[in-house]
A and B are shown apart, each in its own frame.
Chain A
Amino acid sequence: MNLNLKIWRQKNASDKGKMVDYPISDVSPDMSFLEMLDVLNNELIEKGDEPVSFDHDCREGICGSCSLYINGEAHGPDRLITTCQLHMRTFKDGETIVIEPWRAKAFPVIKDLVVDRTAFDRIQHAGGFISVNTSGNTIDANSIPINKQDADDAFSAATCIGCGACVASCKNSSAMLFVGAKVSQFALLPQGKVEATDRVLNMVKQMDEEGFGNCTNTGACEVECPKGISLENIARMNREYLSASLKG
């Protein structure tokens, strides 16, 4: 396949940045999207140009590093996958592909397609944990049976990979799906209930301080989320928040 790539290039955080055209030929449909970019980068390097920077690591959809906004969609046109799982067979010969970084005030660009997502970490520092000591002197794991449905729902919420596609897809750059997933995971488990009040208040406070926008229930996040994290989690967080505010 031959393709025309339009890629966002930005030297560093203070550079203004612009779109640049890169034609690429002989792309195999079996390549992953990132392998296609590897080929482009090797050509650029051997020609003496600067390769395109992008985040990636596991290349199997689990680490949450890769984060490309492709043809106007976070992680590209396919559903329930990350950018690294997207394959070139999804595109047509001769197609133009526009590649941009996540765009959100809370995710400033570092270089080209690489953004700073440490705001997500700071929200987790504020309450994304259960305060048990790691000494191992806890009770036997099977002494707290957990209803399978709750355990499965907690697991589903916990599969969030922290990629930020939800933020990038939201017109308000809201992080509610990401935060809702963590709050829900713990809210559903007996171990997490003890600190539930503080957790939701602290995490939401940090989220607001980081400059993420409000949720207006448009649901774009759920559509683009590679792990299918459900809007249910936002609703659950809102309930937790409301009851915590009443208590607090």
Chain B
Amino acid sequence: MALDSKIPKGPIADKWTNYKNKIDLVNPANKRNIDVIVVGTGLAGGSAAATLAELGYNVKAFCFQDSPRRAHSIAAQGGINAAKNYQGDGDSTYRLFYDTVKGGDYRSREANVYRLAEVSTNIIDQCVAQGVPFAREYGGLLDNRSFGGVLVSRTFYAAGQTGQQLLLGAYSAMNRQIGRGKIKMYNRHEMLDVVKVDGKARGIITRNLINGDIERHSAHAVVLGTGGYGNVFFLSTNAMGSNVTAAWKAHKRGAHFANPCYTQIHPTCIPVSGDHQSKLTLMSESLRNDGRIWVPKHKKDVEAIRNKTLKPTQLAEEDRDYYLERRYPAFGNLVPRDVASRAAKERSDAGFGVNATGEAVYLDFASAFMRYGKEQAHIKGLNENDDALVKKLGQEIVKAKYGNLFQMYEKIVDENPYETPMMIYPAVHYTMGGLWVDYNLMTNVPGLYAIGEANFSDHGANRLGASALMQGLADGYFVLPYTIGDYLADDIRTGPISTDSKEFEEVENEVRKNLDHLINNNGTHSVDYFHRKLGKIMWNKCGMARNAEDLKSAIIEISELRSEFWKDVRVPGTQNEFNEELAKAGRVADFLELGELFAKDALQREESAGGHFRDEYQTPEGEAVRKKEFQYVSAWEYKGEPKDAVLHKEELEYENIKVKERSYK
């Protein structure tokens, strides 16, 4: 089947407006007869559920946490982009579009990204109207900061808790609709499969996580806003429950999975401390506005630091290697994430890592303290040459900006980052890949939509900071509510979809069979045992740098681990009760399939692009080598086993941006 991206004709700046004007609409009276299922209550699912309900559809929303407010979007720290140009620094829709396409290493779809840039400004207006308390300047207007990969200040933020505030905004919009009876909310429910009737997505099967009930839910369309799959690596910055199950089950029911190998490894996370580690903690990219990244220039100093005979603060300026500033003078510490991560790995692999494991670099705020402090001393008419005073004043400013992050760091590492530089190392953070969708955000299964991190559409091979929040809310508030109408317009006379059909029964039986197997297996190892093993394979062989040999062996190892899992996993308890191990087992079973497809995708992509770096394809200086013949989206069709998946290509065309060597020098 050929992939049709359904991009509207016409000049890029007019596509979305013209398309909206032509799209089929459902009149308000008919919307009352149409049901929509939204799985996920993060920024994407939450905003979609609220907006669809407000338009008049009957919405059923699902999340596996005990409240929609706890979706993983809550953890986003740094900010959200919008082309408001409030700072008057030359920002525009085109520039945001350009930065995002370039940042994505020319592997995203132009038309989608342009639309994203176009609606970005609405998001900010919308959120402020909802009472989202963004940071403000003394004059009462909104403040901005800058993020990696761009030269303007367009990021809106709420201290280090931007995701929380935006999600609470979407949650409040949902609450209003729940109160009006337009959204029926199912907390602690896990979606375990999609049901298709006559080729269209018409419902889902869920498990009630409190009592184990298996339920059938039907609707005229199903929307997945179920987040990313970074936890395939076991250790990531994602929440413990983040999973691929919904997307993977959709894939197994016919939806193509796009670019699974595009993973973002975030440069600034707290390094691993030991084998007990259950997750990794991000230190927001916004810190790179003020922190400088370095390692010692000389190996002897590295040794001394590791032996704790030398403190980093004692090392003279000329003995430090600010390697990002050295290699990329134009962008310095604000290069995009993929570039910063690889550079940290390069220094660590070369033996310059500053902690016991050799996998850490410094993020140092000392010069920011002095810079801000001098400014404050000047404003307050105090002595600018009193270093102690200046430092203290500067620390107060930094505290106001990033206080919660500094506190988080100190709690985890037990070191005070105001007195000694932070140690950081890259960690898995975000997945650009996901379900393939067309311009309408519909997968190739009619009536099945994917929004937010669960789809693949806007970030190409690398996502720029502060753009996932933007995409989630754009999809949910402003794009899907229009495009879904075009599909549902044909359903105004369909009437309610019955769950009493052989299609629902068959899928439910399969779900039950799987759960029974897991519960009755009585093997010897816990789910985590297998998940950790999978994570090791993924990190070592499909991580920050990949090569053909490793990827081939990863494919074999993952499929062996998968059969071992099904033979030997031990899930305690029963199906009919609150059983977190059972929920985890189902998720890990799906990761064990996805991991294999991931490696297969990385193997076929014989180039380096964004988050996907192949050892074989690099310049002598270690920069990524992108290739014209791989300028396509890889969309995989499920054929029984992950390794048998069939590749479909969506060629990418760039008519409004000239594809260039991506340079941040």
Residues of A bordering B, CB below 8 Å = 11-12, 28, 30-32, 34-36, 38-39, 41-42, 44-46, 48-51, 53, 55-65, 78, 80-81, 85, 87, 89, 110-111, 114, 116-118, 120-121, 124-126, 128-136, 138-142, 144-148, 151-152, 154-155, 158-159, 161-162, 185-186, 189, 191-192
- Contact, CB under 8 Å: B175 / A129: yes
Cα distance A120–B560 when bound, in Å? 45
Q: Which of B251-302 contact A (CB under 8 A)?
A: 273-274, 276-279, 281-282
- Contact, CB under 8 Å: B133 / A154: yes
- Contact, CB under 8 Å: B528 / A89: no
- Contact, CB under 8 Å: B173 / A134: yes
Contacts of B125 in A (CB 8 A): 136, 138-141
Interface size on B, residues (CB 8 A): 83
Residues of B bordering A, CB below 8 Å = 47, 50-51, 54, 65-70, 72, 74-75, 84, 86, 119, 122-131, 133-142, 158-159, 161, 163-165, 168, 171-173, 175-176, 178-179, 185, 187, 210, 239-241, 273-274, 276-279, 281-282, 407-408, 411-412, 414, 477-478, 524-526, 528-529, 570, 572-573, 577-578, 580-581
- Contact, CB under 8 Å: A136 / B477: yes
- Contact, CB under 8 Å: A57 / B129: no
Contacts of B412 in A (CB 8 A): 32, 85, 87
Cα distance A117–B478 when bound, in Å? 31
- Contact, CB under 8 Å: A162 / B67: yes
- Contact, CB under 8 Å: A145 / B74: no
Cα distance A12–B578 when bound, in Å? 8
- Contact, CB under 8 Å: B239 / A63: yes
- Given B142, B525, B573, B578, which contacts A110 in the complex, CB threshold below 8 Å? B578
- Contact, CB under 8 Å: A59 / B239: yes
- Contact, CB under 8 Å: B141 / A145: yes
Contacts of B478 in A (CB 8 A): 136
- Contact, CB under 8 Å: A35 / B276: yes
- Contact, CB under 8 Å: B126 / A46: no
- Contact, CB under 8 Å: A148 / B140: yes
- Contact, CB under 8 Å: B572 / A64: no
- Contact, CB under 8 Å: B70 / A155: no
Pairs across A and B, CB under 8 Å, 30 listed: A11-B577, A12-B577, A32-B278, A38-B276, A45-B570, A48-B572, A53-B580, A55-B66, A59-B239, A65-B70, A80-B407, A87-B414, A111-B578, A118-B67, A121-B68, A124-B171, A134-B126, A136-B123, A138-B125, A141-B125, A151-B133, A151-B135, A154-B131, A159-B164, A161-B164, A162-B70, A185-B133, A186-B131, A191-B128, A191-B130
- Contact, CB under 8 Å: A58 / B74: yes
- Contact, CB under 8 Å: B66 / A136: no
- Given B135, B187, B528, which contacts A118 in the complex, CB threshold below 8 Å? B187
- Given B134, B137, B179, B278, which contacts A125 in the complex, CB threshold below 8 Å? B179
Contacts of B65 in A (CB 8 A): 57, 63, 65
- Contact, CB under 8 Å: B278 / A151: no
**Considering only CB atoms, which chain A residue lies closest to B183 in the complex?**
A125
Q: Smallest Cβ distance from A80 to chain B, in angstroms?
A: 7
- Contact, CB under 8 Å: A134 / B407: no
Contacts of A45 in B (CB 8 A): 526, 570, 572, 581
Q: Smallest Cβ distance from B139 to chain A, in angstroms?
A: 7
